[in-house]
Amino acid sequence: MPRAAYHLMYPERRTTSVVFASPHSGRDYPWTFLRRTKLNEHSVRSSEDAFVDQLFDSAPQVGAPLIKAGAPRAYVDLNRSADELDPALIEGVSRQGHNPRVASGLGVIPRVVANGQAIYSGKLSMAEATYRIETYWRPYHTALQGQLDQAHLMFGQAILIDCHSMPHEAMDSVTRRGMRRPEVVLGDRFGAAADGAIVDRIEAAFARAGLVVARNTPFAGAYITQTYGRPARGRHAVQIEIDRALYMNERLIRPNGNFETFRSLMRGVIREITDIGRAVATPLAAE
């Protein structure tokens, strides 16, 4: 089994209400899972947000915690609700309405990876699904909620930055002819998950770094932004999708020659984003 549900990188001194999270960068593939899947060890990684945790690992140096998944996305998807169970994969699950994510095989226990490649040749037991949720999904979300609650207590607000990557071709259908291709997509569920002024400042940070930014199309945010984004309560959640071609070879799932340059660029963006969370502070934050 994966050794840990999550890894928490905490700053020596917390100075911002921003919390960074990387739910799809887990790469601890247990041998029992690899033995069971019909995919090879390379193909099973195709839906992983490879190296995203490394792109954001400077967050603790500028006062913000970073929580990242231990278990890989193909094993359990932390950006799904615990009840998004796939009847085509898990024994004993009845069909209840239409959920497009579950129907496409991308429930909390995924049936497929990228390009619709099936992970298994048969079904999983409900006991197996429950084990993965209770052992990996629930501890991750308990820890994430705890970090957001602490931020809200210390600073009067909490800003969750949900960090992801997207295939380069994801923007093919939404890029207008003659326009620069978006390299970053910010998802705030069309304003429902975060205050617009916060999203504006995040967009400006990426734009100052020379990156082309789009909002909500084609990624508006999934379970995490929907669950943790409550701007009326001072709790904001913004999903960030970064074009993988900027820093990795997607076919080989390896950092490319631009990786360290892009990682350095991201340090500046992260610093600017954490500054957003320094705008509001209660006396507790200074203790």
Distance CA 196, CA 188 (A): 9
Per-residue pLDDT, averaged over 245-274, amounts to: 98
For residue 281, what pLDDT is reported?
Answer: 52
Number of domains in the chain: 1
Which three-class secondary structure string do you get for 193-233?
Answer: CCCHHHHHHHHHHHHHCCCCEEECCCCCCCHHHHHHCEHHH
Distance CA 212, CA 185 (A): 9
For residue 280, what pLDDT is reported?
Answer: 57
For residue 61, what pLDDT is reported?
Answer: 98
> The domain that contains 228 carries what CATH number?
3.40.630.40
Q: Within a domain: residue 62? A: yes
Q: Within a domain: residue 123? A: no
Q: Within a domain: residue 226? A: yes
Residue ranges making up the domain that contains 52: 6-74+136-286
Number of H helices, E strands in the chain: 9, 9
Q: Within a domain: residue 257? A: yes
Q: Within a domain: residue 222? A: yes
Q: Within a domain: residue 124? A: no
From first CA to last CA, the distance across the chain in angstroms is 40
Confidence of residue 11 (pLDDT cuts 50, 70, 90): very high
Lowest model confidence (mean pLDDT) among 58-62, 93-97, 232-236, 248-252: 93-97
Helix (H, G, I), strand (E, B) or coil at 140: helix
Distance CA 34, CA 54 (A): 24
pLDDT digits (tens, 9 = 90+) for 56-105: 999 999 999 999 999 999 999 999 999 999 999 999 998 877 889 999 99
Using CA atoms, how far residue 144 sits from 34, 64, 141, 196, in Å, is: 28, 13, 5, 23
Q: Within a domain: residue 121? A: no
Q: Within a domain: residue 210? A: yes
